[in-house]
Amino acid sequence: MWSVNSVQTVTIMPLYASGLRKIRRNLLRVQSGQKPWVEKVGFFTPEQIAQINAARIAMGFPALRPEILFHGRHLYNSRCVADAYTIDQVLEQIVSALSDASVVDPSPPSVVIRNPNKRLDHRGKLVNDEAVFECSGREPYADLYSVVPDGDGLKQKPKKTIGSLGE
């Protein structure tokens, strides 16, 4: 029950109500050898898309729309097949990475958002979940390409920085 002095905190959930269901369906389609669909599953917060687009425009790339697309083949192959995560564990990573608290790292060639709040994973490790977006194949939309539970102890690819791209 709410009292007069109660304060309600509203959290923006950057996944549509049907977003997780669509993501799960696509991952299951890949798992069973079927072709996944391209689905709109969520959106960047106004702050995230403003930061992403400011960085993209400064680098000569066009602005993106705030909606996030998902296909899932790469994510399934890299996390479920190569790293042996279950689909449910990948969904936890996605929910965490697509938090409204996530901060933008617009380092080329991909856009990355990272949840600064650590999450305890199924192995008992504290991880910071990152979402990696491919931003040219389905322009003007960002495609959720992968998630990375940074700190899980699995070998991660080195992060690219603007300096490493010769800029």
pLDDT at 167: 31
Residue 65 has pLDDT above 60, yes or no: yes
With beta carbons less than 8 A apart as the criterion, state whether 162 and 154 touch.
Answer: no
Q: Stretch 28-47: mean pLDDT, rounded? A: 96
Question: Using 50, 70 and 90 to split pLDDT, how confident is the model at 110?
Answer: confident
Let me know how long the chain is.
167
Read off the tokens for 96: 């965490």
pTM score, whole prediction: 0.82
d(CA 5, CA 101): 26
∠ CA 17-18-20, nearest 5°, is 100
- Partnered with residue 132 across adjacent β-strands are 112, 146
In sequence order, what DSSP letters do the residues of the chain get, joined into one string?
---TT--PPP---SB-TTHHHHHHHHHHHHHTTPPPPPEEEEE--HHHHHHHHHHHHHTTPPPPPSEEEE--HHHIIIIIIIS---HHHHHHHHHHHT-TT-EEE--TTSEEEE-SS-EE-TTS-EEEEEEEEE-STTTTSEEEEEEEEETSSS--PPPP-GGGGT-
pLDDT at 164: 30
**Domain coordinates in residue numbering, the chain:** 19-165
Q: Stretch 136-164: mean pLDDT, rounded? A: 73
pLDDT at 8: 37
